[in-house]
């Protein structure tokens, strides 16, 4: 039986857990370094929230480097919204960067104030039409050669994959549609 770790320092971690449990997937909350050393972890979710807060806590709890290493070693990871920002190599409108494992450049709070939060339905490659909830979301402005674009909204990249890393600028845990999580579980099987 698979165990998916969910980084539970700040943000929308409980919603991922709820959805995965509805899908009969076992989860565990990752709150400290020792939780990351569990060999039984089959995948990891970096949830939405505030990337600056989550990033600061990862540093304070001395989890950043270990997390980076586990991802580089191949641990499958799903980063949503702030989680996408944490994985990005480069944040174009912020001098901070965190895990830097994924070859993407992102813009934080990219939709500005007026369009802070919105919902839409768009195509997700290999999945079909998917409802997408954006909350003060980033989008991807630069993607390396190895990055596969999975979804775009108004020509902006909002979902992508590079090897063991899957990212969405939207919150797939908030719509009740399990297909993005299912996609991630399929990715783990590969
Ligand atoms: N605006 C947040 C950030 O920059 C991300 C928002 C979210 O995760 N819903 O980190």
Beta strands in the chain (DSSP E): 3-7, 26-30, 43-46, 77-80, 88-91, 102-107, 117-124, 128-135, 139-143, 148-153, 156-162, 165-168
In this structure, the residue with its CA closest to atom 5 of ligand 1 is 82
Q: What is the mean pLDDT of residues 178-188?
A: 98
How many A from CA of 135 to the centre of ligand 1?
Answer: 7
pLDDT tens, position by position, 152-161:
999 999 999 9
- Which domains, from first to last, does the chain contain? 3-189 (3.40.50.880)
How many A from CA of 75 to the centre of ligand 1?
Answer: 23
Whether 181 is catalytic: no
pLDDT tens, position by position, 47-101:
999 999 999 999 999 999 999 999 999 999 999 999 999 999 999 999 999 999 9
């Amino acid at each position: 039986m698979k165990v998916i770790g969910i980084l539970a320092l700040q943000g929308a971690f409980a919603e991922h857990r709820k959805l995965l449990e509805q899908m009969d997937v076992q989860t565990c909350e990752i709150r400290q370094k020792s939780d990351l050393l569990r060999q039984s972890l089959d995948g990891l979710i970096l949830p939405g929230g505030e990337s600056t807060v989550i990033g600061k806590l990862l540093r304070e709890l001395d989890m950043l480097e270990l997390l980076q290493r586990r991802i580089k070693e191949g641990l499958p990871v799903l980063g949503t919204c702030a989680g996408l920002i944490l994985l990005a190599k480069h944040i174009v409108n912020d001098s901070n960067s965190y895990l830097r494992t994924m070859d993407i450049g992102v813009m934080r709070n990219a939709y500005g104030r007026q369009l802070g939060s919105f919902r839409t339905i768009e195509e997700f490659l290999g999945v079909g039409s998917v409802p997408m909830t954006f909350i003060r979301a980033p989008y991807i402005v630069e993607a390396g050669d190895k990055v596969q674009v999975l979804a775009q909204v108004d020509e902006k990249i909002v979902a992508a994959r590079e090897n063991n890393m899957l990212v969405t600028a939207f919150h797939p845990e908030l719509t009740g549609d399990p297909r993005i999580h299912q996609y991630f579980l399929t990715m783990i099987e590969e």
